[in-house]
Structures are given as C-alpha cells and as structure tokens.
Amino acid sequence: MASSTSMEAAGLTLPFLILTFLTIAAASSTNQIQILNAERRIDLSSHIVKVFLTLKVENVGTTPASEIVLAFPPAQADHLALVKAQAAIGKKKKKSYVHLDASPTELPDAPNGTKYFSISLLNPLSSGETATLEVLYILTHSLEPFPAEISQSESQLVYFRDSALILSLYHVKQQTTFLKTPSTKVESFTRAEPTKLAGRELKYGPYEDHPPYSFSPVIVHLENNSPFAVVEELLREVEISHWGNLQITEHYKLVHAGALHKGVFSRVEYQSSRPSFSGTSSFKHLLASLPPRVHSVYYRDDIGNISSSHLRSDYRKSELEIEPRYPLFGGWKATFVIGYGLPLEDFLFESPDGKRYLNFSFGCPLAETVVDKLTIKVVLPEGSKDPSAVVPFPVEQRLETKYSYLDVVGRTVLVLENKNVVPEHITPFQVYYTFKPIFMLAEPLMLASVFFLFFMACLAYLHIDLSIRK
C-alpha cells in the first residue's frame, strides 16, 4: 500500500517538475535578453500587410543564448501567413545577411492566445554580445472595411488595429513604429504620444524602457483602394509526361474581399468616368507570372473561352494579363481556368541516387493575391513509385491515384495543401520519385491484342468478300 502511494506521488510529481523546469528555463531566457532598439515598419499600401522589424538584441545574462523568441498578439495570430528572419553581419557597405530559421514554438507561461516564433541564431550569443536581426512577417485579412458597404462612386476606407508598442517577452530599451499608408487620406488615428503624421507616414515613438508584454492598442482609419483580390480556392494540377511536356491546369475561385458593393452597377458610368470617380476600389485586370518558354496558353470559364487576355513571353519570363468578363466590386466573385504547357527538360532532373525529381514553383502565379486554400496535385507518369516532396515550409501531404487514357494501374498523384498563401510563398519545391515504365509489363498483352484485332478484321473482310461473290 505504501509502495502504491509512493508511486502515485512520483507520478504526480514528475509532470510538476517538468513544468517547473520549463517555466524556469523560459523565465531565465527572457531575463537574459533585452532589446536595445526596435524599429518596426508596417506597409499598408495593399490588402496584404507587410511588417519589417529590425531588432538589436543584447545578452545581459551569464549564459549564451541560442534563440530569440517573437510574440504575436491573438488578433494577429490567426492572420499570420509567413515569418522570415535574417541576421545582419558586418557594417555599412560590407554588411551582408544570413538566413535564420524561424519556427512556431510554445511557452508554458504564455498569455492566452499569444503565438510565438523561435528564431535560431547562427552562433550562440555570449554574455555582453549584441546582434541585429531583421524580421519580415505578413498578415492577411487584417484590414477591416469601414463602412462595410460602399456604392460604385465611393472610395474604400478600412480599419487597421495594432499596438503602438511592440509585443515582446523581453525588456525593450527603445522602439519606434512607422506606418506607411496608401495615400495621404487618413480619416483618424489613435494618439499615443509622441505621434506624428507627415504625408503618407504615421510615426509612433520613440518610446523608451518598456517591460515585457507592454501593449498600447491603436486604430488607424484610412483610405485603401488597392484590389482586395482573394482566391478562396486554387487547384493547380501539374501533370508530368515523359514524352517531353509538363501540362499545368489551374482552377481559380476569385473574390473581391473589400467593402461590399451596394446599389446598382452602371457600366456606362464605369466606362465613361475616370477611375478616381467610379469604381476606385474595383479591379478588372490581373497579372499572372508564368515560367519562360510557355506554350498552348488558354483562359476560360464555365461559359467558354475568354479572349480578353494578353501574353508577353521571352527567354526570361512570361506574363499573362487576364481580364474577367466583368469588373469585380466588393463581394463579387469569378471562377475561371488557366492552362498552359511547358518543356519538361526545364523542370525535370535526375538526382545522384538515380531518382527523378520535379523542380517547380509553389504558390499562386497571380500578383498581389491571397489564397485561402491552395492545393497542388503533381500527377506522376504511370509506373512512378515512392514520391516525396521537399517544401521549404510546412504543408499537408497525401497520395491519390488518377486514371487517364490507356492507363493500366493508374497514375500516382502527390497532393500538397496549404492555407493563407501569399506571394512570398512562391519558392521552388521538389518532388522526388522512382520510375519503372509500366509498358515493359503491358507490352506483350498490347501486342497480342493488336494481332488479335487484326486477325478478326481479316476474317470479317474475307467473310464479306465471299458473301458478295456468292
């Protein structure tokens, strides 16, 4: 009985000790780092909010620090699309930048809803040393249209909510925040002195000596007529043919995610007026960046082919300018398909271990768009086995089978899925696979079938010929 009691006590004590150790470790890590200077620049010129954060950090503890942790408030956690970090090495003209790994992490004593990213330093930061980090993080769906509905002739106004102080789990000695607005029209903004508005720049700070988790909410009400182009669903099918072609088919479900359009739409007013007077927040053109040497390009919807597109192509790049059948206002949607072919030799290679691999670009070809759900299906030739993808960020993966013309066992399809995709996600990814031609097994059967059909055709011909002579 005593042994059972001691075992239960040990079972309860172990998790408590682990939690206590993690809390102490996090607290010690927080206490040993301080931010000497923080400069944050928030770009609000489009519906994709880009934040450039420069941090000069110092190790004021006694042990080396191998990581810096960034904190994001709950209001931004669900809209965070991407976090990139790099370290500045050298000074002035000799300055260079080195990429740093940034990955989500958790802290045991974190406030509810706070999201953290851990940035791994190249070399541990010794006591008394400093380092300069540059961070880019991107927010989507963070501009709230207000008013929520506008007419054809009205400009679009939006709310942006943030904090004048950087949310940090470290003590910040000095910090400044700059907001870049699309135009000089700023309806209102929260004042957190010192605050200064000059032209298209709103400045908060500098502020000095703020403890960890300091927060000062601000709201900026400004004009933003940039196209709020959001692809609710994008399906990209990449089909590999070892006969030399790479066929791409892209299915788009596009929506204007800005202030909803109210009232009637007048095409006469839209076409006869200048853009600054009618449909300022609408858009009717989209630009897709395609690989060079593209061919057999088409653009169509459920009705049929859409002829309002222009292709510009050379040996470096290709650009496809498309125009939907109607201009898109807030809340309006359009579905369409873009297809094109590419020479396989530009994208398919062989690795040293004998595997073949496809090197293609992730993301959405349309400029300045947010993709809520992206699905990429890589259709491998029949006979391909053991597919694996190398993507520079976390994605969901699964396998499917597709049957096409004259397939015997079907084609393996590697499916990649990701959400909240922005233009910065357009990076190369690789799909590795082994290949054994299926026709090596099926060829005897196919030849036998051909000879059998030929023999039956000959018999039928002879039977008809004899019937005619009789």
> Is 55:35 a contact under the CB 8 Å cutoff?
yes
Q: Would you state the structure tokens that stand for residue 256, as one six-digit string? A: 């204007």
Q: What does the pLDDT read at residue 308?
A: 78
pLDDT digits (tens, 9 = 90+) for 426-463: 999 999 999 987 655 444 555 566 677 777 888 777 77
> Is 203:244 a contact under the CB 8 Å cutoff?
no
Looking at every residue in the chain, the average pLDDT score rounds to 87
* Least trusted range by pLDDT, from 2-16, 26-40, 373-387: 2-16
Residue 7, pLDDT above cutoff 50: no
pLDDT band at 466 (very low <50, low <70, confident <90, very high): low
Residue 1, pLDDT above cutoff 50: no
Q: What does the pLDDT read at residue 278?
A: 66
Q: What does the pLDDT read at residue 3?
A: 42
Highest averaged pLDDT of the listed ranges 19-28, 284-293, 434-443: 284-293
Q: 467 or 310: which carries more pLDDT confidence? A: 310
pLDDT band at 271 (very low <50, low <70, confident <90, very high): confident
Asked whether the CA dihedral 384, 389, 395, 396 is positive or negative, the reply is positive
